[in-house]
Amino acid sequence: MKVLVINCGSSSLKYQVLEMETEELLCKGLVERIGIEGSVIKHEKIGMDKWVLETPMKDHKDAIGHVLNALVDPEHGVAKSMEEIGAVGHRVVHAGEKYASSVLITDDVIKALEECIDLAPLHNPANLQGIAACRALMPNTPMVGVFDTAFHQTMPAESYLYALPYEYYTKYGVRRYGFHGTSHRYVSMRAAEMLGKKPEELKIITCHLGNGASLAAVKNGKVFDTSMGFTPVAGLVMGTRCGDIDPAILGFIAAKEGKDFAGMDKVINKESGVYGLSGVSSDFRDVENAANEGNEKAEVALKVYAHRVKSYIGAYMAEMNGCDAIVFTAGLGENGITMRKAICEGLENLGIELCDERNNVRGKDTVISKDSSKVKILPIPTNE
């Protein structure tokens, strides 16, 4: 059976078609500038050149119409007719406390996701538009919602509650949700497979280090804690997000700089992180290059980054009473040889021993710890 997976943003849409039994990727593509001038679909059948088509698309339904046409195109398509697409998977950011795994999309599911719009006002509406468009164009094809928050729903109250007045949790759903769940789930399961164990036998710390970044403490196959919170701005230092800060800083800077709430929201989400600290870039490659050329702010930005990851690893080892494996994934986790070394350095007393030679690897799932290391270290390419 062929499965279409869709990740709908507000003005863009990414998709892939996979052969479910073999998990073979058949094609992938990106639609950009939906609803604005210059709409374009970039479609790539695996093994062929990219097919780029510029054509007006006024909304997500139009965009998905073009995707479906591309899928059955005689030259670039991967199916003879739409009947060959047996199911559609939709990535949805927020399912609140409603779902702890992927679900078949029904009217009730859509209603529940609409109720979560408040919690993810930028993402859930676009995700829902994608679902509505697909349901209109493929009314008989089963659709599944896959939620960024779902895998983290196993967290116990001591991990997810903030020490705020309790009624903010009951009235408004203010709690830690966590994100990147699909990635943490995939890499923790893959790590167990690589170590020849069942997820239920392992304590794993998964480090998803991309533009956005989060850690998860996965104990016996279930999330015990994660570093992102009510929103994705919490936890680690990221490309442009600040991660954990003293919450009182917000009011202090707002008063000093004459900023309102929206202004401060922009500071913590778009102007901070390694970009804000280094003044160079949010891309780790640029920051690493600048540091190598002697830029001191870039150097310190990378040190702050590694320090924060280290402190979470320590915290999660304490929370789980040890750990069997640390997994590095996403752009920086999979490729950042220097960053992995900086994070693992000085953790030998916790049983974490990186092998420099084995660490010299990018984009491959393998073991990079020394044979003597109590905690195995594995880079694993994510597959969200």
Stretch that binds ligand ADP, among 162-170, 184-192, 210-218, 262-270 (CB under 6 A): 210-218
| Token output for 61 | 């339904």
Stretch that binds ligand ADP, among 27-35, 98-106, 278-286, 319-327 (CB under 6 A): 278-286
At 365, which amino acid appears? D
Q: Which residues pair with 154 in a beta bridge?
A: none
The residue count for binding ligand ADP (CB under 6 A) is 13
Does residue 280 belong to the site contacting ligand ADP (CB under 6 A)?
Answer: no
Give me the residue label for tokens 């986790």: 333
Length, in residues, of the chain: 384
Minimal distance, residue 11 CB to ligand ADP, in Å: 16
Q: What share of the chain is helix, strand, coil (3-state, %, to 5)?
A: 40, 20, 40
Does residue 160 belong to the site contacting ligand ADP (CB under 6 A)?
Answer: no
**Nearer residue to ligand ADP within complex by CB, 154 or 338:** 338
Cα–Cα separations (whole angstroms), residue 259 to 28, 168, 254, 264, 303: 42, 25, 5, 6, 29
**Nearer residue to ligand ADP within complex by CB, 112 or 342:** 342
Catalytic residue list contains 148: yes
**Nearer residue to ligand ADP within complex by CB, 111 or 285:** 285
**Cβ within 8 Å of residue 165, ≥6 positions away:** none
Stretch that binds ligand ADP, among 7-15, 241-249, 261-269, 282-290 (CB under 6 A): 282-290
Which one of 212, 229, 243, 379 is in contact with ligand ADP (CB under 6 A)? 212
**Nearer residue to ligand ADP within complex by CB, 313 or 339:** 339
Does residue 299 belong to the site contacting ligand ADP (CB under 6 A)?
Answer: no
Stretch that binds ligand ADP, among 31-39, 52-60, 195-203, 206-214 (CB under 6 A): 206-214
Residue tagged active-site, from 49, 118, 148, 244:
148
Task: State residue 129 phi and psi, 5-degree precision.
Answer: -65, -40
Per-residue binding letters, 304-343, with ligand ADP (x by CB under 6 A)? --------------------------xxx--xx-------
**Nearer residue to ligand ADP within complex by CB, 220 or 289:** 289
By DSSP bridging, strand 103-104 and strand 85-92 are unpaired
Q: How far apart are CA 370 and CA 353, in angstroms?
A: 6
Residue number of the CB closest to ligand ADP reads: 331
Which one of 102, 141, 159, 211 is in contact with ligand ADP (CB under 6 A)? 211
**Nearer residue to ligand ADP within complex by CB, 332 or 375:** 332
Does residue 243 belong to the site contacting ligand ADP (CB under 6 A)?
Answer: no
Does residue 284 belong to the site contacting ligand ADP (CB under 6 A)?
Answer: yes
Which one of 265, 283, 348, 365 is in contact with ligand ADP (CB under 6 A)? 283
Q: How far apart are CA 262 and CA 281, in angstroms?
A: 22
Question: What's the DSSP call for residue 98?
Answer: T
What is the three-class DSSP state of 360?
coil
Give Rg (Cα) of the chain: 22
Q: Which residue blocks in the chain are alpha helix, DSSP H?
A: 60-71, 107-115, 124-137, 157-160, 166-172, 181-194, 248-257, 261-270, 273-278, 284-292, 296-320, 330-335, 337-344, 356-359
**Cβ within 8 Å of residue 307, ≥6 positions away:** none
What is the contact surface with ligand ADP in residues (CB under 6 A)?
A: 210-212, 239, 283-285, 330-332, 335-336, 362
Give catalytic residues, as residue numbers.
Answer: 148
